[in-house]
Copies of this chain bind each other. A is one copy, B any other.
Amino acid sequence: MVRGAPTQQRILDAAERLFFGDGIAVTGMDALAAEAGVSVVTIYHHFGSKDGVLQAVLTRRLTAWTTAWDTAIARAATPEDRLLAVFDAIETFRSANGRTQWCCFLSTVSERPSPTGADPDPVHALVRQDTAELVGRLGSLAEAADLTDPRATAATLLVIYNGVLSSLLRGEPEDPFQAARVAARLVVSAARRPG
């Protein structure tokens, strides 16, 4: 029998595939256990509840995604390329993680009631953290690139980024990466400081 760590990992892998491929509500604990090759009891022993699995998957995804983004940023040469590194990060992350659907945060928020007033829901907090991570990084990168109106540029790039995720989620035939890169490059070029 394999030791503890791989078991948790296998459960999370299976949850990633099923939750974001088929849907969270549609996926039962039995199906999740079968996909992970473990027992239902083991899942509860590790994560306590189905919502616990979801939170764990989202957290893992969030950290994995941010580190992938960081390496893509580090690989870029110029400040403007660093600003466009998001799209490289998605592409490599996606090819590395196989067939899992994008974006898991988008899928999650679709199945959840909108938070009413105060938000004690940790799942929504994670989604919000993902968004905050996006706008924060894009904003600071835009500022570092010395663009005119970096906030507006970051907001525009965020829309394009969301467009890539949405296109992937829809399963559109066209490849959104090239289109996104073209648009993003135009946006950055237009925001370049004259002189």
Q: Chain A residues in contact with chain B, CB under 8 A?
A: 21-26, 101, 103, 105-107, 109-114, 127, 131, 135, 152, 155-156, 158-167, 169-172, 174, 176, 178-180, 182-183, 186-187, 190
B113:A22 contact, CB within 8 angstroms: yes
Closest Cβ–Cβ distance, residue A57 to chain B (whole Å):
15
Closest Cβ–Cβ distance, residue A138 to chain B (whole Å):
11
Residues in chain B near residue A183, CB distance under 8 A: 156, 159-160, 183, 186-187
A187 to B163, CA, bound (A): 15
B182:A156 contact, CB within 8 angstroms: yes
A111:B114 contact, CB within 8 angstroms: no
A190 to B159, CA, bound (A): 19
A162 to B160, CA, bound (A): 8
B179:A155 contact, CB within 8 angstroms: yes
Please give 13 more A-B residue pairs, beta carbons under 8 A apart, in addition to A101-B114, A109-B169, A183-B186.
A23-B113, A25-B25, A109-B171, A152-B179, A155-B179, A158-B163, A159-B160, A159-B179, A159-B180, A162-B162, A163-B163, A166-B166, A186-B186
B26:A113 contact, CB within 8 angstroms: yes
A111:B23 contact, CB within 8 angstroms: yes
Given contacts A106-B169, A163-B162, A179-B159, contact A174 B135 (CB under 8 A): yes
A169 to B127, CA, bound (A): 12
A113 to chain B: closest residue by CB: B22
A158:B167 contact, CB within 8 angstroms: yes
A179:B158 contact, CB within 8 angstroms: yes
A21:B159 contact, CB within 8 angstroms: no
| A-B residue pairs in contact (CB < 8 Å), sample of 21 | A23-B111, A26-B113, A103-B166, A105-B170, A106-B166, A107-B110, A109-B169, A109-B170, A111-B111, A127-B170, A135-B172, A135-B174, A155-B178, A158-B163, A159-B163, A159-B179, A160-B160, A160-B163, A163-B163, A163-B164, A182-B187
